[in-house]
Amino acid sequence: MTDGTALAGPDGALRCPWALSTPDYVTYHDGEWGRPVHGDDALFERLSLEAFQSGLSWITILRRRPGFRTAFAEFKIAKVAAFTDEDRDRLLADEGIIRNRAKIDATLANARTLTDWTPGDLDDLIWSHAPEPGPAPKTIADVPAVTPESTALSKALKKRGLKFVGPTTAYALMQACGLVNDHLETCAARIRP
């Protein structure tokens, strides 16, 4: 049983405890999670994947990410916005992704909504909700699931017409895209620039 502090991985480096359950998590934790992500298409991908993760474990999404990228045209907003009813049917039958009708429909609707935005608006909106850096969490118990900033981001995204973007999904996006740094205080990924 862990006390929620950073644990030594197979290489001896301290990491957030959640990152040690599979090699896929170690790679994601060390190289992606908490690193700044910019660009509308890149943020659309992360937002979409976080929505698909809702109610599931992240490892399920992470292992299917190549399938998601193929199925959703590398998450290029303009391409996904042009998907037809036949594309929707294809997605619903694609075993390489999560075949949840509501989440697929939300992803397609979000892409269509985003085509009406000025390029850079999604990046600007998301990053405008980045909080001031706070103290590093010492244990996983110090890492919230929702914050006032994620609630505000969720409201702003919904107000602009996006779907499946609740406060918990918004906070997971903030963590994944580096708006917040929730690597534990002694985690090697936090310490490394």
Active site residue 28: yes
Ligand-binding annotation for 129, yes or no, is no
Active site residue 50: yes
CA atoms within 13 A on the CB side of 125: 24
Tell me how far apart the terminal alpha carbons of the chain are, to the nearest angstrom. 30
Q: Is the domain covering 40-177 a CATH 3.40.50.300 domain?
A: no
Active site residue 18: no
pLDDT tens digits for range 167-188: 999 999 999 999 999 999 999 9
pLDDT tens digits for range 37-93: 999 999 999 999 999 999 999 999 999 999 999 999 999 999 999 999 999 999 999
| SS3 assignment for 24-91 | HHHHHHHHCCCCCCCCHHHHHHHHHHHHHHCCCCHHHHHHHHHHHHHHCHHHCHHHHHCCCHHHHHHH
Instruction: Please tell me which residue in 28, 32, 127, 185 is annotated as part of the active site.
Output: 28
**CB 158, CB 129: distance < 8 Å:** no
Residue 115 has pLDDT above 70, yes or no: yes
Residue 191 has pLDDT above 80, yes or no: no
Task: Name the average pLDDT for the chain.
Answer: 95
**CB 26, CB 189: distance < 8 Å:** no
Residue 193 has pLDDT above 70, yes or no: no
User: Where residue 1 falls among pLDDT bands split at 50, 70, 90?
Assistant: very low
Ligand-binding annotation for 177, yes or no, is no
Instruction: Please tell me which residue in 18, 32, 58, 185 is annotated as part of the active site.
Output: 58
User: Where residue 192 falls among pLDDT bands split at 50, 70, 90?
Assistant: low
Q: Return the percentage of the chain with pLDDT > 70, whole number.
A: 98
